[in-house]
């Protein structure tokens, strides 16, 4: 039986892929048999003549995982838009049963799964109303919430936590991504710690030179080694 964590965000573009890449890097560096899993990915790139998910390609660039990126991303679409729209534009349908099957296959190949969501929590995966939170709940993952450090993040973070609880998800920790030393950022972190009820709060500073779209990792691996304790991350994971 594998352990796992599902990386969710308060919004799109908050740093879920960066966090996923950094966590997988730490796990592999510490000799854990870990895999990345992104059920639905919007946005493609080309690596060595092969089209694949931009997010999976970036995570592979950082963590150097050996699994074929196509195996860990069951649904990949060219258009970088919401999953249901990306699928519609491609003339396809996102089938939750296909995702479940691929997930079950991956569980037999590793000890830990780091899964990453698409966009925010309340995102439709198809035109039939199957939501991202439905998928997370079915897969059985606890969640790690990624939030911005700047203005507005208190509201976005607390609303996401409340919504996650209302749909039956468990959020085990929060990562404040791109945290700086300004008064607003530091007060946001302190306030979220005080109001969220979540004990596991991690802060990740802005990473120089990182660009997920251009597959540029900057010094992401070094920053993770310096700021995130692997034992603290392992404590958040549950059997899936």
Q: Report which of 142, 80, 79 is spatially closest to residue 115, judged by C-alpha positions.
A: 142
Residues 182 and 170: beta-carbon distance below 8 Å = no
- 44-47 vs 50-53, strand pairing mode: antiparallel
What percent of the chain is modeled with pLDDT above 70? 100
* Number of structural domains found in the chain: 1
- pLDDT value at position 66? 82
- pLDDT value at position 68? 83
Which residues of the chain, if any, have pLDDT below 50? Answer: none
Active site residues: 38
Give the range of the structural domain holding residue 205, as residue numbers without chain letter: 3-239
Q: Report which of 221, 5, 226, 233 is spatially closest to residue 110, judged by C-alpha positions.
A: 5
- pLDDT value at position 166? 98
- pLDDT value at position 124? 95
- pLDDT value at position 48? 85
Q: What is the CA radius of gyration of the chain?
A: 17
Q: What is the CATH number of the domain that holds 191?
A: 3.40.50.300
- pLDDT value at position 83? 94
Residue with tokens 């796990």, as numbered in its chain: 27
Residue 166's contacts (CB-CB under 8 Å, 6 or more residues apart) are none
- pLDDT value at position 49? 84
Q: Could you give the dihedral angle defined by the CA atoms of residues 111, 117, 123 and 129, in that order, rounded to the nearest 10 degrees?
A: -30
Dist. CA 197–CA 224, nearest whole Å: 24
Dist. CA 3–CA 85, nearest whole Å: 31
Dist. CA 124–CA 82, nearest whole Å: 8
Dist. CA 6–CA 202, nearest whole Å: 16
Residues 44 and 76: beta-carbon distance below 8 Å = yes
Strand partners, 210: 217
| CA 222 vs CA 48, 65, 148, 186: distances in Å | 26, 17, 21, 23
């Amino acid at each position: 039986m594998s352990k796992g964590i599902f990386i969710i965000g308060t919004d799109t573009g908050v740093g879920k892929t960066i966090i996923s890449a950094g966590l997988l890097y730490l796990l592999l560096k510490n000799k854990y048999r870990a895999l990345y899993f992104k059920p639905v990915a919007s946005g493609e790139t080309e690596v060595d003549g092969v089209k694949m998910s931009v997010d999976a390609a970036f995570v592979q660039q950082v963590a150097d995982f050996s699994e074929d990126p196509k195996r860990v991303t069951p649904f990949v679409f060219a258009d970088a838009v919401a999953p249901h729209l990306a699928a519609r534009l491609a003339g396809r349908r996102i089938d939750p049963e296909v995702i479940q099957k691929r997930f079950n296959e991956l569980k037999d190949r590793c000890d830990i799964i780091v899964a990453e969501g698409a966009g925010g929590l309340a995102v439709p995966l198809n035109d039939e109303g199957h939501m991202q939170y439905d998928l997370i709940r079915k897969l059985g993952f606890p969640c790690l919430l990624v939030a911005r450090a700047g203005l507005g993040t208190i509201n976005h973070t607390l609303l996401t936590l409340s919504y996650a609880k209302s749909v039956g998800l468990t959020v085990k920790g929060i990562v404040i991504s791109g945290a700086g030393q300004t008064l607003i950022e530091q007060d946001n972190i302190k306030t979220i710690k005080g109001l969220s009820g979540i004990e596991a709060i991690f802060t990740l500073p802005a990473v120089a030179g990182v660009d997920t779209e251009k597959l540029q990792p900057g010094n992401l691996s070094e920053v993770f080694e310096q700021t995130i304790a692997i034992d603290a991350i392992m404590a958040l994971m549950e059997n899936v």
